[in-house]
Chain A
Amino acid sequence: MDECRFFEAQHLGFAYPGGPLVVRDVSLTAAPGRMTAVIGSNGSGKSTLIRMLAGLLKPRSGKILLGGIPFDAWEPRLRAREIAYVPQSTTTVFPFEVTDLVLSGRTPHTQRFRFESAHDREKALAALDAAGAAHLAGRSFTSLSGGERQMVILARALAQEPRLLLLDEPSSSLDLKHRAALIRTLVRLRKATDLSTIMITHDLQLTAAFDQVVAMRCGETVASGTPDEVLRDGVLRDIYSDPDVHAQRVGNQTLVWINL
């Protein structure tokens, strides 16, 4: 197996029952330590795509290979050791304690009828720390704000110690400081553990830290490349169907804005 393509999605297509195709012929690979951002307007199929990659939706066409083995052939528990998923938002009905919630990320690594060990607890606390949420440890999840919840859910995903982390607009409810902290955490984990990331985002500035940007429109990939290659006037105007979008280099980042 080619280690550089341990995760490979080929020609994915998806339609909700009775509806039109919302994802059409999208291919994507993830290599160790590689960070991929998926951008696109609302309704362009990004969330559907990432839910397929997370195994939550079955593709109508195409296939997903993990370590060269078809997704369906993986035992769910073993697959959960490889891939973690951070949804757009999480609300729980029951007031679970933050630490317990993060500890639940250890489930794929613990034996079925055993309790989590002290080792698992350490991992959970370290993950909470890495996500910048150590101060939330004793709180109940239901008492947290949207942004705080997002940090805790990220911590749970990190406690899972995946090789591939899928994030669906994790930054939308985070303030400026925590958005930066999130990206720095991902960059640090890439260095430390070769973590591979696929993240959906509407915040184009954040994509500067990524190796690859995939742009989607109407369920299809319309551009793919380094942030410099994708964040260009022409490409962006096409994605957002708006002639007033502008992109400009400022220092080593690209700023994108729209004339109001």
Chain B
Amino acid sequence: MKARVVRALAILTLVLVVSVGVGLAVGSQRIDPAGLFADSFSRTLFFRLRLPRVLLGLVIGSSLAVTGGALQALFRNPLADPYVLGVSGGGALGASIAIALGWSARVAGVPLVFAASFAGAMLAVSLVRTIARTGAVVLPGALLLSGVAVNLIAAAGVLTIEYLTDPSSALRILRWLTGSLDIVGLAPIGRMLWILAPAWLALLALSRQLNLLAIDEDTAATLGVNVRRCEAVVHTLCALIVGVTVSAGGAIGFVGLIVPHAVRMMFGEDLRIVLPGSLLLGAAFLILADALARTVLPSGELPVGAVTGLMGGPVFLWLLHRRQQFAAM
């Protein structure tokens, strides 16, 4: 088992390193590596824009993928993903409310926007879970449907708020609802990592319990897992991670769906590989998707959420088709 984990993570680390290289190399402006030291324009472009963007992709991609993997296990639903379940939407709504109200302050270094986004995400995940759970089972169909509804409500909420505050802010709305990795400077990423890194580690530490929960809830309970507590902790961690990422990059879709499945296909079902593997591959995936978004158009660029949506939507439909039991419910 240990050898399997090491091998999988070594391969995925390599993939990540290559994608970071690609992400740093491509863009609307070619940056000559040699020019980095000589030319101050290149340097500014690289350190203020290109590098932060790739790092933000890394942080957000990791976050969305690992929460996707954890939520799939927790709900025993291969179609679960923070975007599909409306958790990202809830976070986006929370963040846009905070921004509309002008809460730009930070408390103990933590931006209030993070807190608002976390609250929105937490509300969404609790709502979806409460609706989908009847007695001891979480109905897979009801889970996805309530996710759809929460997403629509959140999107309408974001739209209303943006429209009320500034009717010309169509671009900002787009950013919240489809996601973008546009960022200037490294400081915001530092503030995110301060919260995200511990949350990632906490989630990884739960991977064995999540393994048992992914098999069956009763099984987990009779093997010594405190199911209710584990569920509450995973909910909170996922809402925290998604909340923080959404308030920086908007609701980027389907990363949490595609990436854990890709890791499973390559290395099997064990969450002790799937979760850390998703951290690595999620980062690689979003960096590459963003590289594509930046270069695919002859002029200008696509929001990265459009790229992940165009890739992830069909994957979702394919999974839905493959799992007849979900279509039936």
Contacts and interface: CB of A to CB of B under 8 A. Distances in A.
Given A94-B78, A107-B208, A115-B2, A76 B224 contact: yes
A90 B223 contact: no
A48 interface: no
A87 B218 contact: yes
A94 B269 contact: yes
Given A77-B224, A80-B224, A108-B224, A93 B208 contact: no
A115 B1 contact: yes
B89 to A, nearest CB: 24
Contacts of A100: 268-270
B218 A92 contact: no
Interface string A226-257: 00000000000000000000000000000000
Given A96-B269, A104-B215, A79 B205 contact: no
Given A93-B76, A94-B78, A95-B269, A104 B205 contact: no
Given A85-B222, A101-B215, 18 more contacts: A54-B221, A56-B218, A76-B225, A76-B226, A77-B224, A80-B224, A84-B222, A90-B215, A94-B214, A94-B269, A96-B269, A100-B270, A104-B219, A107-B212, A107-B224, A108-B224, A115-B5, A156-B219
B222 A104 contact: no
A130 interface: no
B301 interface: no
A154 B270 CA distance: 21
Nearest to A157: B222
Nearest to A114: B2
Contacts of B140: 93
A77 B221 CA distance: 9
A83 interface: yes
B231 interface: no
17 contacts: A55-B221, A78-B224, A85-B222, A87-B218, A87-B219, A92-B214, A92-B215, A93-B76, A94-B73, A94-B76, A94-B215, A97-B268, A100-B269, A104-B215, A104-B223, A113-B205, A156-B219
- Give the bracket for the number of chain B residues in contact with chain A: 20 to 34
A243 to B, nearest CB: 37
B211 A104 contact: yes
Nearest to B136: A56
Contacts of B223: 80, 104-105, 107-108, 160
Interface of A: 54-56, 75-80, 83-85, 87, 90-97, 100-101, 104-105, 107-108, 112-113, 115-116, 156, 160
Given A92-B216, A115-B2, A116-B1, A97 B269 contact: yes
B236 interface: no
The secondary-structure label for the interface of chain B is helix
Q: Which 5 pairs, one residue from A and one from B, show the smallest C-beta to C-beta distance?
A: A77-B224, A80-B224, A85-B222, A76-B224, A115-B1
**What DSSP secondary structure best describes chain A's contact surface?**
loop
Nearest to B214: A94
Contacts of A75: 224
A159 to B, nearest CB: 10
A85 B323 CA distance: 28
A235 to B, nearest CB: 32
Contacts of A78: 224
Contacts, number: 78
A113 B264 CA distance: 21
B42 interface: no
Interface in B225-267: 225-226, 264
A50 to B, nearest CB: 11
Interface string B115-147: 000000000000000000000000010000000
B77 interface: yes
A56 B214 contact: no
A75 B225 CA distance: 10
A112 B222 contact: no
A112 B224 contact: no
Contacts of B225: 76
Contacts of B2: 115
Interface string B183-217: 00000000000000000000001001001101110
Nearest to A113: B205
A178 to B, nearest CB: 21
A96 B272 CA distance: 13
B61 to A, nearest CB: 23
A95 B269 CA distance: 7
Contacts of B214: 92-94, 96
A104 B212 contact: yes
A91 B216 CA distance: 8
Contacts of A83: 222
B176 to A, nearest CB: 32
Interface string B149-165: 00000000000000000
Contacts of A56: 218, 221-222
A93 B77 contact: yes
Contacts of B216: 87, 90-92
Contacts of B272: 115
Interface string B82-95: 00000000000000
